[in-house]
């Protein structure tokens, strides 16, 4: 999973990446409000998918409940702006911190579960989350079934941009920070610990990697990212309601991560694009179609391109991978003698 780019191509990638970023940043000047909104949602999805890459791709913990964390972040943002009148620039950091804490709390039981059991529990979380939001006891805070509306922040006067554009810029800064922090984390000691845990938990314990400690970090960090993404989406959509954060959102996020490449930080861009545009296309076929398309995409990608679209690009630009080519399947031999 550790990759090294051949050194001759590295400067090209850096320059190209910076140029793309600059282009992206200037985009809104040429677009209408709706398109800017879409770009903001793109970034929100990308950050959420980053969370899955960290948790599932690197640390090997399978979560089907990311939609719940996304919704949590969204509701935190909505409540803070609507009820607590918090200054909007503080909303994102507070949502991040709150999500981090919640992720750490959820990880307490979660780290004791493995594989299928963890998947099951997080699946349950995804299904139960909307129910929790609709509970009459919490209605005063959450707005119950009807949800809450969110007022869009006003941009500072001197910048002379629209509300949508301002939110875009705030999100862009957040996204860059998110990518930078995540990439930094994963390249360092923490990232290696995650990979060790995912590849061989028993051996990593023997080598002194504190399993519980790092798993908790993975959960907390990933839900922080997902929560921030949810907060951005709440500001962009200007509305939160329980049924927007159902199990289907969790599955959609999963599909996005897998399509992009669940082990790839940069793959989330492809995943986010998939999440943004495929429903629209699928809707034109039939109303129930988006879910079937997602399901089919998930199955096809996992079967034929297990490392996602990012892996196709990796091959294209010549990155080498340290993946061990173990034969697998029903008749796999158990080792060489």
Partner 1 sequence: MGEFLNQVLAGVANGGIYASLALALVMIYQATQHINFAQGEMATLSTFGAWFLFDAGMPYWVVFALTVFGSFIMGALVERLVVKPVGTASPFAFIAVTVGLLMIANSASHWVGGGDIREFPSPFPGWLGSRYLSAHETGTILVTMIVLVALLTFLKRTPFGLAMRAAAQNPVSSGFVGIRVGLMLTIGWGISAAIGAIAGMMVAPIAFLEPNMMGSILLYAFAGALLGGINNPTGAVIGSFAVGIFENLLGVYVTGSELKLTSALCLIVILLILRPSGLFGKAAVSRV
Partner 2 sequence: MLRLTGVSAGYGKTPVLHEVSLSVQRGGVTAVLGANGAGKTTTIRTICGLLPATGEIAIAGKNIVGQTSDRIARLGVAHVPDNRGTFIDLTVRENLLLGAHTRRDGEVEGDIERFLELFPRLKSRIHQQAGNLSGGEQQMLALSRALMLRPQILLLDEPSFGLAPKVVAEIFELLRKVKEEDGLSVLLVEQNARMALMLSDKAYVLESGKVVLSGDSRDLASDDAIRKSYLGY
Backbone angles phi and psi of 150, in degrees to 5: -120, 130
Of 140, 206, 288, 336, the one binding partner 2 by CB under 8 A? 336
- Distance CA(40)–CA(174), nearest Å, equals 11
Q: Which of residues 107-136 bind partner 1 (CB under 8 A)?
A: 109, 112-113, 115-117, 119-121, 123-125, 127-128, 131-132, 134-136
Residue 322 binds partner 2 (CB under 8 A): no
Query: In the chain, which ranges are continuous DSSP H helix?
Result: 10-26, 33-52, 66-82, 88-110, 115-134, 139-142, 163-187, 189-199, 201-206, 211-237, 247-260, 267-285, 289-304, 308-316
- Per partner kind, with CB cut-offs from 5 to 8 A, the member of partner 1, partner 2, none near residue 117 is partner 1
Residue 329 binds partner 2 (CB under 8 A): no
Q: Which of residues 303-322 bind partner 1 (CB under 8 A)?
A: 303, 306
- Per partner kind, with CB cut-offs from 5 to 8 A, the member of partner 1, partner 2, none near residue 325 is partner 2
Residue 64 binds partner 1 (CB under 8 A): yes
- Per partner kind, with CB cut-offs from 5 to 8 A, the member of partner 2, partner 1, none near residue 37 is none
- Per partner kind, with CB cut-offs from 5 to 8 A, the member of partner 2, partner 1, none near residue 336 is partner 2
- Give least dist CB 61 to partner 1, A: 10
Of 258, 269, 278, 309, the one binding partner 1 by CB under 8 A? 258
Choices 44-52, 148-156, 250-258, 329-337 (CB under 8 A): range interacting with partner 2: 329-337
- Distance CA(195)–CA(212), nearest Å, equals 14
- Distance CA(24)–CA(46), nearest Å, equals 14
- Give least dist CB 306 to partner 2, A: 17
Asked whether 214 and 193 are in contact (CB, 8 A), the reply is yes
Choices 46-54, 168-176, 222-230, 289-297 (CB under 8 A): range interacting with partner 1: 289-297
- Largest Cα–Cα separation, the chain: 73
Taking the CA of residue 238 as centre, how many other CA atoms within 13 Å lie in the half-sphere pointing to its CB?
A: 7
- Give least dist CB 202 to partner 2, A: 18
Class of residue 310 by CB neighbours under 10 A (exposed 0-12, middle 13-18, buried 19+): buried
- Distance CA(106)–CA(173), nearest Å, equals 28
List, in sequence order, every residue forming a beta bridge with 239; answer none if it has no partner: 149
Residue 251 binds partner 1 (CB under 8 A): yes
Of 29, 30, 34, 331, the one binding partner 2 by CB under 8 A? 331
Q: Which pair of tokens denotes residue 196?
A: 């060790």
Taking the CA of residue 313 as centre, how many other CA atoms within 13 Å lie in the half-sphere pointing to its CB?
A: 14
- Distance CA(128)–CA(115), nearest Å, equals 20
- Per partner kind, with CB cut-offs from 5 to 8 A, the member of partner 1, partner 2, none near residue 132 is partner 1
CB atoms closer than 10 angstroms to residue 25? 14
- Per partner kind, with CB cut-offs from 5 to 8 A, the member of partner 1, partner 2, none near residue 306 is partner 1
- Distance CA(47)–CA(96), nearest Å, equals 12
Of residues 136 and 333, the one with the C-beta less far from partner 2: 333
- Give least dist CB 333 to partner 2, A: 5
With CB under 8 A as the rule, give the number of residues binding partner 1.
Answer: 52
Instruction: List residues binding partner 2 (CB under 8 A).
Output: 325, 327, 331, 333-334, 336-337
């Amino acid at each position: 999973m550790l990759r090294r780019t051949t050194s001759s191509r590295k400067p090209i990638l850096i320059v190209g990446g910076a140029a793309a970023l600059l282009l992206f940043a200037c985009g809104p000047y040429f677009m209408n409000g709706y398109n800017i909104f879409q770009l903001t949602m793109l970034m929100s999805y990308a950050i959420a998918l980053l969370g899955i890459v960290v948790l599932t791709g690197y640390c090997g913990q399978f979560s089907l409940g990311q939609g719940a964390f996304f919704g949590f972040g969204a509701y935190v943002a909505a409540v803070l702006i609507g009820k607590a009148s918090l200054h909007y620039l503080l909303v994102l950091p507070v949502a991040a911190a709150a999500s981090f804490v919640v992720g750490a709390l959820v990880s307490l039981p979660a780290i004791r579960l493995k594989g299928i059991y963890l998947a099951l529990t997080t699946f349950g979380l995804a299904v139960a989350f909307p129910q929790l939001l609709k509970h009459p006891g919490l209605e005063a805070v959450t707005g119950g079934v009807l949800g809450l509306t969110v007022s869009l922040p006003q941009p500072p006067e001197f910048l002379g941009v629209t509300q949508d554009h301002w939110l875009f810029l705030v999100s862009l800064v957040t996204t860059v920070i998110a990518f930078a922090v995540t990439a930094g984390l994963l390249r360092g000691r923490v990232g290696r610990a995650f990979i060790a845990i995912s590849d061989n938990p028993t051996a990593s314990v023997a080598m002194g990697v504190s399993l519980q400690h790092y798993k908790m970090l993975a959960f907390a960090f990933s839900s922080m990212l997902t929560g921030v993404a949810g907060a951005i989406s709440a500001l962009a959509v200007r509305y939160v309601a329980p049924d927007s954060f159902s199990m289907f959102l969790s599955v959609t996020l999963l599909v996005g991560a897998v399509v992009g490449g669940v082990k790839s930080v940069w793959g989330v861009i492809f995943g986010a694009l998939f999440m943004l545009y495929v429903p629209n296309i699928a809707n034109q076929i039939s109303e129930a179609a988006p879910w079937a398309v997602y399901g089919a995409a998930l199955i096809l990608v996992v079967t034929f391109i297990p490392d996602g679209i990012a892996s196709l690009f990796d091959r294209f630009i010549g990155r080498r991978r340290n993946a061990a080519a173990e034969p697998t399947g029903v008749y796999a031999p158990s080792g060489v003698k």
